[in-house]
Amino acid sequence: MTTPAERPPSPATGSPGSGAGVENLVKRFDAVQALAGVTLDFPAGQVTALMGENGAGKSTLLKILTGDHQPTEGRVLLHGRPLALGSPTDARRAGIRIIPQEPEIIPHVSVAENVYAGALPRRAGRQLDRAELRRRITADLERLGFAGVLDPDLLGSELTPAQRQLIEIMRALTGEAKVIAFDEPTSSLSDHEVEALFALIRRLRDEGIAVIYVSHRMKEIFRLADRIAVLRDGALAGVLDAATTNDGELVRLMVGRDLSAMFSREHVATDRLVLDVRGVTTDAVRDIDLQIRAGEVVGLAGLIGAGRSELALALAGDLPIHSGTVTLDGQRLRTGRPSEAIKAGLGLAPEERKAQALFLHRTIRDNTSTVVLERLRRLRFVRRGAERELAQHYADLLRVRTPSIEHEVRKLSGGNQQKVVLARWLARKPKVLILDEPTRGIDIGAKAEIYQIIADLAREGVAILVISSELPEVLGLADRIVVMQGGRITGELSRAHASEEAILALAMADDLSTTAPAPGATT
């Protein structure tokens, strides 16, 4: 945890009533009450962290602040005065901005055009003024500290998740902003990009802007926040001074219990080899050898761009393999065939769950049953009763918070969406399960539940590969850790010898032929 002495001092708050706030805010969706009488201020010149489990009401509160939802009761205040927000356009005109967790990018236009979409400079005759566009984007990239990180000419379809996030940040900072909310902004950023973002947030705070920061990452909260507001079950559980609280107190306020034993589980790995990868080479990875046994949890670590996700997609048949073999429980898989991998018993929960795993406009029932429909069919027709029973069983087992299994997945919180992805594979009963960033954007309570699911699956004999950028997570979950850099495996660490320092030493190995392995590592 960052100590008060390490956190840069925040300037004095503006005059009383400056900034934004909500008063007696209530929001109901049919029978579900998302917010229950929340009164909370977001002072100008301060960073207010907004925390709580998924489903606690954070997203609903932000959507009311930005005009996407209308409150059932209560009101929004700006500088102490009531503010009517009938739409996101009203909120933007009032100076309220939100940087969403899932960026919305126009794929066929450039970075510069994406940033200024809706406000592009025009010449007489309405022709795009490309010279002025270039001047603006160059100046803004420099001003915001993103020069060299974003190429103004790249198309939206060519952007990485991190670059898409930076575009949303730049969009929010065009025009005069008074309140800016960041919703899990670092979930896809590299360490360098995170530092640039933090410097920017501090500058916004120092300029007197009210900053709302939503994150599940404790270290970030204690580095940035002046105060921490916690929501639980739609109500305000409390507001803490970031300089005088600690992560244990914060977790207890969020979930109502101590999660100190979050990673505790017994070693249940057997000698039975389930996944055997030999010499696999793709466009992104080279000469990968990887073995996982029944009941074993293997962590796959490395920096962004190391090739971890590409390896996962190749093993699942979604990316072509140029050479090498993948054998699952004695059966050699033909590459480039996702259906064959699934049939053999391999499941993949990918990093981008919304884009790569979920049918957002379909129900929980539809998403859960999609890989077991052949088991539910009688002749050519799906037995709807059996499908509902199966979906309800796994929704109950994984404690998916939803009014009904007929609820659309897009309306669920991030943690509950991830549980639906897991429900799909649990229904399939896999032999190997690959989890790519399984707790990205998920609150600490939901993380604990997913960690328990992983432990339970291992106990049942499932071979599990966990890819995570959060080193404490890898260290807590894995029986052993494989580290990648530059598309190759640079070493392996046993649980006894693994540490953040040892993982980073292998992840940052520049010269693979001369770098010495970390203590306890095998290469």
Q: Which domain holds residue 458?
A: 273-522
Contact of 173 with 144, CB cutoff 8 Å: yes
Pair 497, 521: CB distance under 8 Å: yes
User: What are 154-212's pLDDT values in tens digits?
Assistant: 898 888 777 887 888 888 887 788 999 998 888 777 777 788 788 888 988 998 999 99
Where does a domain end: 116, 135, 158? Answer: 158
Q: Quote the pLDDT of residue 257.
A: 61
What per-residue confidence (pLDDT) applies to 444? 73
Mean pLDDT of 51-78: 89
Average pLDDT in the 202-227 region? 90
Query: Helices 384-397 and 414-428 sit at what angle, rounded to 10 degrees?
Result: 120
The pLDDT of 275-280, averaged and rounded, is 96
Among 180, 161, 173, CA closest to 104: 161
Same domain, 511 and 488: yes
User: Does residue 7 form part of some domain?
Assistant: no
Q: Are strands 227-232 and 47-51 parallel, antiparallel or unpaired?
A: parallel
Local confidence band at 512 (pLDDT 50, 70, 90 cut-offs):
very low
Identify the pLDDT of residue 32: 74
Residue range 323-353, pLDDT digits in tens: 999 999 999 998 778 889 999 999 999 888 8
Q: Please give the pLDDT value at position 240.
A: 94
Q: With 0.85 as the threshold, say if the pTM is over it.
A: no
Over residues 18-27, the pLDDT tens digits come to 789 999 999 9
Instruction: Give the whole-angstrom CA distance, residue 454 versus residue 448.
Output: 10
In a domain, 508, yes or no: yes
Please check whether residues 356 and 436 belong to one and the same domain.
Answer: yes
Q: Is residue 239 part of a domain?
A: yes
pLDDT tens profile 469-484: 888 889 999 999 999 9
φ, ψ dihedrals at 77, nearest 5°: -120, 145
Q: Which of 127, 142, 158 is the last residue of a domain?
A: 158
Q: Any idea of the CA torsion for 16, 21, 23, 26, to the nearest 10 degrees?
A: -170
Q: How big is the chain, counted in residues? A: 523
- Residue pair 485/507 in contact by the 8 Å Cβ criterion: yes
Looking at residue 54, its pLDDT comes to: 67
Residue 9 has pLDDT above 70, yes or no: no
The total number of structural domains that make up the chain: 3
Q: Which tens digit of pLDDT belongs to each residue from 394-443?
A: 898 888 888 899 999 988 877 788 889 988 988 888 999 999 988 877 77
Task: Identify the pLDDT of residue 265.
Answer: 67
Both 343 and 215 in one domain: the answer is no
C-alpha neighbours within 13 Å on the C-beta side of residue 307: 23
